[in-house]
Amino acid sequence: MDDIRNYYSIKSNYFDHNSTTPVSEDVIQALPDFLQAWGNPSSIHWAGRQPKNILRDARQSLAKNLGCSPLEIVFTSGGSESNNTIIKGLFDYYQTDPLSPSGLKSDLARRKHYMCSEVEHPSVLKTMIYLKSLGARVDLIPVNRQGEMDLQFYQEHLSPETALVSVMYANNETGTIFPIQKMAEMAHSQGVLFHTDAVQAFGKVPVNLAELGVDFASFSGHKFYSIKGSGFFFVKKNTPFTSLIHGGGQERHRRGGTENVLGIACLGVMAEKLSQVSTHVAQVAGLRDHLESRILREIKSVTITAGENPRLPNTSSLVIQGVDGETLLMNLDIKGYAVSTGAACSSGNPEPSPVLLAMGLSRDEAQSSLRLSLGWSTTREQVDDFVEILKPIVERLRLIQAESGGDPHV
């Protein structure tokens, strides 16, 4: 047990905060007290009161710091469930008019068109593919090599038949931040609802839902120093959708099942730290810029993907020519460094990143990618140490490639 604790206590070499974050020490210290609140929050007797208060406090804290009403927050297991609930729930809503006593479809059923970007998280893209199998029409909004959204395509394909647009706040691989407020306004001008997957933005940049003007937004606790298995989504008051999980009356009948009190309690702890996000942006961005500057200066033939456009302050997506990304990752892992070649949910997939391919990178470029994502605890010394480790590894792998006839995947 001590070996496991020691293994996971090595945070200084962790450069993969976009896949998950170390659990906050404040959360760890609060866990014993939270574990004592073992009752069911739906119970009306004494055992349910403390858990119920925990849910209330977390909901209020999240709402206060995200610019919405507590009643507009629905707790879930995380980002993927939230995305599925919103997209499938709205599709179900538009298939059966809930206002019709006969259950017959009305003009609501004409909204069978859905849109999302080509670089969405799989929990959005695959849900959209699922809707297509049920008869929906889905358009994917293109992005260019710099990660910019094709707003002309978007405008041309919006119509009164569109039910929902789903575009992530920031991309999990490149860190690209999309113009969500503008896109939501464009959707609303056509009477179309708008959802943003804000999972990667949560805790990295300030998020104000009132200013964004979206109808739905998804969040996940483990991306912001909380424990896994807990998240939530925002649904604007009076916005239609149908529950994905039917059961009891939890979450005001919007998500059945006994709530994950422990996970929600931890979310509440981190919700209080959302006010600190803006103070960390400049610090983390400075480290990211220093990291990129050193790599570009000291290692030849490296490019930064989408480096000229707004990005999350912690994220750097690199293409290191002449090096296979997976091989580089394994060599860095041997040295104790945790990095990524793309989305953690796609690890083990030999195919190059669909996000990078959608942006127009070649297959070889996509297979030579490396994603580095910093956190609040990352220091300049750790960044410098990483660069010193990276340089000889890249040099050695390029030499191996040259000796193998130029194939970086040999």
Cα separation, 320 vs 300, whole angstroms: 8
Please give the angle made by the CA atoms of 366, 372 and 376, to the nearest 5 degrees.
155
Cα separation, 186 vs 199, whole angstroms: 22
In this structure, is the dihedral angle defined by the CA atoms of residues 323, 324, 325 and 330, taken in order, positive or negative?
Answer: negative
Cα separation, 166 vs 121, whole angstroms: 10
- The answer to whether 345 is a known catalytic residue is yes
pLDDT band at 74 (very low <50, low <70, confident <90, very high): very high
Cα separation, 217 vs 87, whole angstroms: 11
| Residue whose C-alpha is closest to residue 317's, from 325, 149, 298 | 325
Yes or no: say if 341 and 126 are a contact pair by the CB < 8 Å rule: no
pLDDT for residue 351:
80
- Separate counts of helices (H) and strands (E) for the chain: 15, 10
More confidently predicted of 351 and 98: 351
| Beta-sheet pairing, 315-320 with 369-373 | antiparallel
Give percent of the chain above pLDDT 90.
87
pLDDT band at 124 (very low <50, low <70, confident <90, very high): very high
pLDDT of residue 291 exceeding 60, the answer is: yes
pLDDT of residue 102 exceeding 80, the answer is: no
Task: State phi, psi for 223 to the nearest 5 degrees.
Answer: -85, -10
pLDDT for residue 349:
57
pLDDT for residue 409:
52
Yes or no: say if 87 and 195 are a contact pair by the CB < 8 Å rule: yes
Residue type for position 365: E
Please write the tens of the pLDDT for every residue from 4-52.
344 444 556 999 999 999 999 999 999 999 999 999 999 999 999 999 9
pLDDT for residue 402:
82
Task: State phi, psi for 338 to the nearest 5 degrees.
Answer: -100, 115
Give the H/E segment covering residue 367: helix 363-367
SS3 155: helix
Give the H/E segment covering residue 316: strand 315-320
SS3 335: coil
Please write the tens of the pLDDT for every residue from 181-194.
999 999 999 999 99
pLDDT for residue 227:
98
| Residue whose C-alpha is closest to residue 202's, from 105, 117, 82 | 82
Cα separation, 190 vs 167, whole angstroms: 16
Question: Which residue bears the tokens 């997506």?
Answer: 317
pLDDT for residue 67:
97
pLDDT for residue 105:
52
pLDDT for residue 3:
41
pLDDT of residue 294 exceeding 70, the answer is: yes
| Residue whose C-alpha is closest to residue 349's, from 366, 333, 374, 335 | 366
pLDDT for residue 66:
98
Yes or no: say if 410 and 404 are a contact pair by the CB < 8 Å rule: yes
Cα separation, 410 vs 405, whole angstroms: 9
pLDDT for residue 404:
77
pLDDT for residue 99:
57
Please write the tens of the pLDDT for every residue from 50-61.
999 999 999 999
Q: What is the mean pLDDT of residues 213-224?
A: 98
Catalytic residue among 68, 116, 266, 345: 345
pLDDT of residue 108 exceeding 60, the answer is: no
Q: Of the ranges 168-172, 228-232, 260-264, 402-406, which one carries the lowest mean pLDDT score? A: 402-406
Please write the tens of the pLDDT for every residue from 362-404.
999 999 999 999 999 999 999 999 999 999 999 999 999 888 7
Q: What is the mean pLDDT of residues 94-107?
A: 60
Q: What is the mean pLDDT of residues 238-248?
A: 93
Residue 389, classified by CB atoms within 10 Å of its CB into exposed (0-12), middle (13-18) or buried (19+), is middle
pLDDT for residue 350:
63
Cα separation, 401 vs 409, whole angstroms: 8
